[in-house]
Amino acid sequence: MSDVAATGVGEPHHEELSFWRTYVFSTDHKTIAKQYLSLGLFWAIAGGLMTYLMRWQLAYPETEVPGWGFIAPDFYNMLVTMHGTIMVFFVAMPVLLASFGNFLIPLMIGARDMAFPRLNMLSFWVFASASLVLFSSFFVPGGAASAGWTGYPPLSAKAAYTGVNWGLNLWLLALALEFVSFLMGGINFLTTTINLRAPGMTFIRLPLIVWMQITAAVLFMLSVGPLIAGAVMLLMDRVVGTTFYLPEGGGQPLLWQHLFWFFGHPEVYVILLPGLGIVLEIMPVFSRKPIFGYRPIIYSTIAAGMLSFIVWAHHQFLSGMDPRLAMPFSITTIIISVPFALIVFAMIATLWRASISFSTPMLFAIGTLSIFIIGGLTGIFNGSAPVDIYIHDTYFVVAHFHFTLFSATFFAGFAGLYFWFPKMFGRMMNEILGKIHFWLTFVFFNAVFIPMHLVGLGGMMRRIANPMQYEFLQPLQPTNVFITVAAVLLIVGQIPFVVNFFWSLFRGRVAERNPWQANTLEWSTSSPPPHGNFETVPVVYRSPYEYSSPEVAKDWLPQDQPLEPSAVARQ
Amino acid sequence: MDNRAETLTATGIPTGKIGVWWFLASEITVFGGFIASYVVVRLGSSGWSEAASHLNFTLALINTFVLLTSSLTMVLAFAAVEERAPKRLRTFLCLTILMGLIFLGIKAFEYTGEIVKGFTPGAGIFWSFYYGMTGLHALHVLGGIVVNLVLLVAALRDTLRPNEHRVELAGLYWHFVDIVWIFLFPLLYLT
């Protein structure tokens, strides 16, 4: 059947678009995904290089950083603040949620584009302006925000307290724009998945990453509202002179912490779930086995999503809130590890007795799993109030959330990039460079963050510019030097990826439609897919993980491939 | 191409409507967060009723009636769409916009009176919440007026034709803004 015959609803159109409409103000979800990806990678480099300055200062305090100069304590505060802000809001969210979500949701559900393509374009450009605002905040008098990525008042509520006026106002503005952008994106994700699924694509046949993406979108949309209200209050405190968070005017500094973490904890899962989704897509493909426990994984995801709304105060055990709240929030926090444990066991069971091929995406997926397990286990330490009293605000916590969020953002992000790069750009990435990249990242990640637990247990507080000021921290200095060396090597270890990315973009082996012999719908169209995604809208016959099915000779069975009876019926 | 979103639907519900409902769900949490903060902070300290007694109750009552009536005209505008009565559609859209503007005018007059009496946003925690919540709500009213204006211009130019359902979507939002006020009015003025 030719394209011409397939008239009617949802036909791809082939009119030539101008340069601007094709690459800049594009409404094509695939282009928008690449735009988010490029901006996210730009910020990843910025946020990553900041760690070099921070780590140097911690290992060799008050010495000149090679290639930079001295780091004043104020500047160190700014680095800590902006590193957190950038990595969470400008790397993890655009790459994991916006980029992979935009690219994969329409392709995986068999849609031609998002439900609201122009809203999608608007989301990206609002995010781009958020990026611009955040970027410009580095260059205003007083420098960028330095009240921590959590922006606790009263420190953040008055310019006089940090010496940063415009930097923090712009920080709030950037976050507000970012939230607006992701709200619009979330509406698009949800509406698209609800309404634009191809014939036969029931909810229980959706690839798991789509489930994870829409759960993340719901979590984001329902948790960010109170923080938007809170940010309005903080901005009003700073600009209009209200006293929401200032005790001298009857306000409550603790109110911000509740509003921030009511968002902040679901936000952790907004980042984590798409990361786990990527791993869940990759593991069956390179295990040649169906995913273990498709439905329980979905139920766990939903359960974890609901629980994530009632755990937030575990960030505030030492904040001066009513101590009677500590026990209930400890309990909910420990309960939330149950659904995630189930997902982890499902991943391990998928690998069990499989003929695994250790390609680069699979290595990164297994890396995500192994690191996330450790991060999850230390989370149980942090979540129980009595233990948290000792380790609160130490490097133990820093190590914990890097084990969870670094694994989701970078290990899972890289896994997804190596896996879907052929679909995104039509070329394969280099396997040898990819494996070098994996081993460097894996080894040096652990070399950085395992010792960080010990430093934290030794009592080193996060966000301090100079540990040598404290006598009890001085014996930890050799460990700090070790961490810094490993951190520099971790940054250097990313060079193979950068080389591989750009080299493969132009010189990589041209990818076929389905280079990994995978089942989901995105592999049934060309690489990269045309505007409109599919020649004809696919019809879905089965669940997405039918590998090594006894019904067919080959070991994979695409979702849109009819089996014999219907093939007969078609003749 | 842009019609695709409206025509392809797996659930049978118009895509635009699903989008607006999700948007409203997130909006509920914005005001929900603000209102919950207000309630919690207010329960934890005293002196709020005294501050609230300086508000202009009469004007707020009039404003409540104005906004409620504008919801009625919005419904009538949508009814006009369903009955294919373009003239009535224009009239009721005009009335809705007008009442939105009256609401904002009265609100501005109220603000002026309070600021003249010295009750600025920095005058205390009650005033922080008062200006914060009513200000955010007023911005939403303004947003609704802009949306209705866009629809009115399209209706006047006769370009609304394939997209009349947008009146319903704008109505959903307008009623939401109205309902928020139904919460704010007793919380701020009657306690």
Name the residue of chain B whose CA is nearest to A240's CA: B121
Name the residue of chain A whose CA is nearest to B41's CA: A252
Q: In this structure, are residues A234 and A171 in contact, taking their beta carbons and an 8 Å threshold?
A: no
Bridge partners (DSSP) of residue A510 are A427
Report if residue A277 sits inside a domain: yes
Query: How high is the pLDDT of residue A569?
Result: 46
Read off the pLDDT band of A6 (50, 70, 90).
Answer: very low
Report if residue A12 sits inside a domain: no
Tokens of A333: 């926090």
Segment A238-247 shows an average pLDDT of 93
Q: What is the CATH number of the domain that holds A448?
A: 1.20.210.10
Query: How high is the pLDDT of residue A29?
Result: 96
d(CA B139, CA A418): 45
pLDDT tens digits, A55-97: 999 999 989 999 999 999 999 999 999 999 999 999 999 999 9
Contacts of A364 (CB under 8 A, 6+ apart): A282, A411, A412, A414, A415, A418, A438
Report if residue A6 sits inside a domain: no
CB within 8 Å: B33 and A13: no
CB pairs under 8 A between A and B: 144
Read off the pLDDT band of A571 (50, 70, 90).
Answer: very low
Burial class of residue A538 in the structure, from the number of CB atoms within 10 Å of its CB (0-12 exposed, 13-18 middle, 19+ buried): buried
Report if residue A380 sits inside a domain: yes
CB within 8 Å: B7 and A9: yes
Chain A residues with CB-CB distance to B124 below 8 A? 243, 249-250
b/e string for A125-152 if b means 16 or more Cβ within 10 A? Answer: ebbbbbbebbbebeeeebbbbbbbbbbb
End-to-end CA, chain A: 14
Burial class of residue A288 in the structure, from the number of CB atoms within 10 Å of its CB (0-12 exposed, 13-18 middle, 19+ buried): middle
Report if residue A241 sits inside a domain: yes
Report if residue A227 sits inside a domain: yes
CB within 8 Å: B9 and A195: yes
Using the Cβ of B118 and the Cβ atoms of chain A, whether some distance falls under 8 Å is answered with: no
Other Cβ atoms less than 10 A from the Cβ of A118: the count is 13
CB within 8 Å: B29 and A224: yes
Query: How high is the pLDDT of residue B8?
Result: 63
Read off the pLDDT band of A570 (50, 70, 90).
Answer: very low
Query: How high is the pLDDT of residue A1?
Result: 30
Domain tally for chain A?
1
Q: For B14-189, CATH number?
A: 1.20.120.80
By residue count, chain A amounts to: 571
Q: Given a cut of 50, is residue A198 above it in pLDDT?
A: yes
pLDDT tens digits, A121-158: 999 999 999 999 999 999 999 999 999 999 999 999 98
% of chain A with per-residue pLDDT over 70: 96
Report if residue A3 sits inside a domain: no
Bridge partners (DSSP) of residue A547 are A556
Query: How high is the pLDDT of residue B2?
Result: 40
Read off the pLDDT band of A565 (50, 70, 90).
Answer: low
Cα dihedral across residues A272, A273, A274, A277: positive or negative:
positive
Question: What is the distance in angstroms between the Cα of B118 and the nearest Cα belonging to chain A?
Answer: 14
Q: Which residues of chain B have pLDDT under 70?
A: 1-8
Query: How high is the pLDDT of residue B1?
Result: 37
Using the Cβ of A200 and the Cβ atoms of chain B, whether some distance falls under 8 Å is answered with: no
Using the Cβ of A10 and the Cβ atoms of chain B, whether some distance falls under 8 Å is answered with: yes
Most confident of A156-165, A385-394, A432-441: A432-441
Query: How high is the pLDDT of residue A564?
Result: 66
pLDDT tens digits, A43-56: 999 999 999 999 99
Segment A164-193 shows an average pLDDT of 95
Report if residue A9 sits inside a domain: no
Query: How high is the pLDDT of residue A568?
Result: 44
Q: Given a cut of 60, is residue A520 above it in pLDDT?
A: yes
Query: How high is the pLDDT of residue A320?
Result: 87
ipTM of the modeled complex: 0.92
d(CA B14, CA B6): 6
What's this model's pTM, rounded to 2 decimal places?
0.93
Bridge partners (DSSP) of residue A394 are A461
Read off the pLDDT band of A207 (50, 70, 90).
Answer: very high
Q: In this structure, are residues A195 and B17 in contact, taking their beta carbons and an 8 Å threshold?
A: no
% of chain A with per-residue pLDDT over 90: 89
Cis peptide before A528 (omega within 30 of 0): yes
d(CA A256, CA A262): 10
Query: How high is the pLDDT of residue B164?
Result: 86
Mutation target to probe the A interface, by most A beta carbons within 10 A, among B6, B40, B114, B125 is B125
Domain limits for position A62: 23-570
Question: What is the distance in angstroms between the Cα of A539 and the nearest Cα belonging to chain B?
Answer: 13
Chain B residues with CB-CB distance to A197 below 8 A? 10
